[in-house]
Chains A and B, each alone.
Chain A
Amino acid sequence: MAAILPQLLNLLLQFVDSFGFLVLSAIGLAIIFGMMGVINLAHGEFITVGAYGTALSYHAGLPLPVAMLVGVGLTTVFGLVLEFTIIRRLYGRLLDSMVATWGISLIMIQGLRIVFGSSLSSIGTPLGSVQYGSFSYSTYRLLLAGASLLVLGLLYWVFTSTEFGTRARATIQDEEMSRALGTNTNRMYLLTFGIGSALAGLTGALYAPTMTIVPGMGSTFLVEAFVTVVVGGASVLVGTTGAGLLLGFINAAFSNLFGTFAGRMALLVTTILVIRALPQGITGLLDDVRGGT
């Protein structure tokens, strides 16, 4: 009994950790996908920009929370500029815009390498760890799971209780009609892309202290972000939360039993099985339930 309890606690903490990682990896991608139907293949590099912004300003002497804000701000500006110069030209050419963002991703990975070299010195994880039995878990990583809940809550508020949220949902539902009723849909797209970039930057900023900061670090988040978006479907909040719970549990269970790689593999296999039954993901399931009643 005494041996099982720490194991269970371990599993629980791992679940919390996975949930946070999946949600934070995916949320920026999911917002842009839900709104514009576009998958931003430079998503990983947006996260990298957030991490670089944080690390560089931290090493320049700013306190960590302020450095993180700098990282988020930098990524937001970066995203807005890209939307304005490139993504905007590709509206209506969904798949082409994905290829274009891949081009951006290549330029950014190598560009960061040329400018800043092969790695930045790391920040070091703050806050120490929680001890239980013979195990310990990083407090900071658990804090990140809390941050993911906070982000979800904040987005819920934005999308349900602000004028921007109402207009954004109207644009998703029927672009032409909302334009006819006076919504500037291009501005909606720009703002949504900005929010998506900001959230990607936030992910980079939050995970910067836990990782080695290298130009290709963005790809660490990609698989998790992709599977969460696919399993979640187009509905940002419900989909991402549901997918985070389901995949987080599966990832935690398999990682716990067979190691980190098995956890990742299980995510992919689950996703491929899910799409066979639910091609629109959890969003589609919800629509069916709602339509059925």
Chain B
Amino acid sequence: MGGETTTTVDHSAPDGTLSRLRSRLEGPNTLGEGRAFWLGFTALLGLLLVYPLFRSSYYVSNTAYLLVSAFLGLSLCLVWGYTGIFSFGQVAFYGIAGYTFGIVSINVTGPVGTVVGLVVAVAVAGAFAFLVGYFMFYGGVSDVYVAIITLAVTLVLNTFMGQTAGEAWAVGAARLGGFNGMTEIPSLALGVGDTAITITDAAFYYFVVGTLLVTYLGLRVLVNSDIGYVMVGIRENQDRTELFGYNTQKVKLGVFTFGGVLAGFGGVVYASWGNYIDPSVFGITFAALPIIWVATGGRKWLGGAIIGTFAVTFVSQKLSVFGGQYSLVILGALLLFVILVLPEGFVPQLARRLPGGDES
């Protein structure tokens, strides 16, 4: 299946801006194309846009949270699903960005602080990913080592943040807070002074829907571009891709860094959503969640990652209401089931069964 992904692609666009746009969004590396898919996509988007008009603010806020998780899922999908880099530590970048956002936005007061915080936090997450990635990919370690090093980094961050309870652990006005976490993180706000709009409630929801839409479409263009083909080439056979003359270390480092940025953005939005972050984002249980989401949905497809993230998070919320303590057991069992029975995930299976579905 994977071997066929780089066969003939017709990039010669038909007339019209719309078709030209469509041809860049479609290709062998994404599921869903053609008129029917985009009509359905627009309908779904419309549904998401009118959703706040019909539900209470509690549900809207909760749905926004489910969508925030999708950034984490997408970043893992890009790194693991498309490029074959086995990162168990995407949550590290998520958490680092969340904490950095908190530190900056608490210290730099006002709406400007939150925007600066967003930029700095995403940059720090990216830089951290770059640093870890440099040592791993240019050292040339095997896939298995990438997995355990990223997980070890995450666990060490967990111990680090856990022991920051004392007064001494503060950056300016921001207390790191140990296991109790960092509180009173301001919500994101756009604009200057009195004209600034604080992004909360419905505004937050629309902000997340908008950024997620842009991210999804942007990633579709990316994975169907030449770089996307190289990424998939690395996943399928790194040595062969290297022999074709591609600098695979550079591409892997680039993808890993970008994955860190994406996860970091998710972390900032998460910290802004709850006005709070704690060391459990670096815990081994939370680190497992993105793997479960993406593996369940279908790690080799962007749509699979988003749908997997949304569906699994939704179901596990329901489970923790009705199933209580069994919810983690069920999630673990789900992961086992998917790996043993359905290694490609649910979404590609479903897509194949739909009329006009992609047969690849």
Is A12 located at the chain interface by the 8 A CB criterion? no
Q: Main SS of chain A's interface residues?
A: helix
In the complex, number of A-B residue pairs with CB atoms less than 8 Å apart: 127
Cα separation A96 to B143 with both chains bound (whole Å): 12
* Chain A residues with CB below 8 A from B142, complex form: 279
Contact partner of A229 among B86, B148, B331, CB < 8 A? B148
Interface residues of B in 154-210 (CB under 8 A from A): 155-156, 159-160, 163
Is A150 located at the chain interface by the 8 A CB criterion? no
Q: Is the CB of A39 within 8 A of B144?
A: yes
Interface residues of A in 87-106 (CB under 8 A from B): 89-90, 93-96, 98-100, 102-106
* Chain A residues with CB below 8 A from B138, complex form: 276
B324 to chain A, nearest CB (A): 9
B329 to chain A, nearest CB (A): 5
Q: Is the CB of B333 within 8 A of A226?
A: no
| Interface hub of B132, B148, B328, B343 (most chain A Cβ within 10 A) | B148
B292 to chain A, nearest CB (A): 8
B316 to chain A, nearest CB (A): 12
Q: Is the CB of A99 within 8 A of B339?
A: yes
Q: Is the CB of B149 within 8 A of A226?
A: yes
Cα separation A86 to B295 with both chains bound (whole Å): 17
Is A169 located at the chain interface by the 8 A CB criterion? no
Q: Which of B211-219, B225-233, B238-246, B283-291 contacts A (4 or more CB under 8 A)?
A: B283-291
B180 to chain A, nearest CB (A): 18
Cα separation A73 to B283 with both chains bound (whole Å): 30
Interface size class of B (residues with CB under 8 A): 35 or more
Interface size class of A (residues with CB under 8 A): 35 or more
* Chain B residues with CB below 8 A from A59, complex form: none
* Chain A residues with CB below 8 A from B295, complex form: 99
Given A103-B336, A276-B138: A98 in contact with B147 (beta carbons within 8 A)? yes
B144 to chain A, nearest CB (A): 6
Is B326 located at the chain interface by the 8 A CB criterion? yes
| Interface hub of A94, A113, A226 (most chain B Cβ within 10 A) | A226
* Chain B residues with CB below 8 A from A125, complex form: none
A117 to chain B, nearest CB (A): 11
- Of chain B, the residue at the smallest CB distance from A227 is B152
A169 to chain B, nearest CB (A): 20
Q: Is the CB of B335 within 8 A of A99?
A: yes
* Chain A residues with CB below 8 A from B159, complex form: 223, 261, 264
Is B140 located at the chain interface by the 8 A CB criterion? yes
Q: Which residues of A contact B (CB under 8 A)?
A: 33, 37-39, 41, 86, 89-90, 93-96, 98-100, 102-107, 109-111, 113-114, 216, 219, 222-223, 226-227, 229-230, 261, 264-265, 268, 271-273, 275-279
9 new A-B contacts, CB < 8 A, other than A226-B152, A271-B152, are: A39-B147, A89-B340, A99-B291, A103-B336, A111-B329, A113-B325, A268-B152, A271-B149, A275-B139
| 18 A-B pairs whose Cβ atoms sit less than 8 Å apart in the complex | A38-B144, A41-B151, A90-B340, A98-B147, A100-B336, A104-B336, A105-B288, A106-B329, A107-B328, A107-B329, A216-B284, A222-B155, A222-B284, A230-B148, A268-B153, A272-B149, A279-B141, A279-B145
